[in-house]
Amino acid sequence: MRRKIGLDELLERAPAAQQNSAPQQHQASGQAGPAASRGRAPHTEFEFELPLGYVDDEGTVHRYGAMRRATARDELMPQIDLRVKENPAYLSVVLLSHVITRLGDLTDVHAGVVERMYATDVAFLQDLYHRVNSEGHTRAAVTCPHCDGAFEVDLAGGRLGES
């Protein structure tokens, strides 16, 4: 019978020569390779500022929050949710409620909270979700319409027009 081993154990079993030579090759080119990042956990939580903000029952506006990267479970769980089965458009509400870890003072962000957000904020969070989970970052390349200068902006934080 074959025994399954985890990634950590597999990395421990890797020959020492391979582990030590890979970082040197990447460092020479100024890039960190896979072996260089073995000791560090990937960036998994991203802070954001909503364009409008969620207004709770007391009238408090919650604009700042954090979203974590989605796991396979996060993407699979909504598929068995009855609300999603009845209305496939509800998928993004359930999915966002799983990955938003904090919204202002709220630590329990559930589907009911996401349902009551402004459509502008939900669209912002959907875009952030896509960037974080597909591209691995929250930066976007943009071009100034006046001077054609190219630069990057971080979509997760800061207000429009601020640098």
Inter-residue contact 54 to 62 (CB < 8 Å):
yes
d(CA 16, CA 13): 8
Please report which confidence band the pLDDT of residue 142 belongs to, taking 50, 70 and 90 as the band edges. Answer: confident
Query: Does position 161 have pLDDT exceeding 50, yes or no?
Result: no
The residue that leads in pLDDT, 104 or 19, is 104
Amino acid 102: pLDDT = 95
The Cβ of residue 84 has, within 10 Å, a number of other Cβ atoms equal to 19
DSSP string, 95-132: HHHHHEEEETTBS---HHHHHTS-HHHHHHHHHHHHII
The residue that leads in pLDDT, 98 or 140, is 98
Query: Does position 143 have pLDDT exceeding 60, yes or no?
Result: yes
d(CA 3, CA 22): 28
Nearest partner of 101 among 92, 110, 93, judged by Cα: 110
Query: Does position 36 have pLDDT exceeding 50, yes or no?
Result: no
Inter-residue contact 65 to 104 (CB < 8 Å):
yes
Q: What is the pTM of this model?
A: 0.60
Domain extent listing, the chain: 7-37, 45-154
Query: Does position 57 have pLDDT exceeding 60, yes or no?
Result: yes
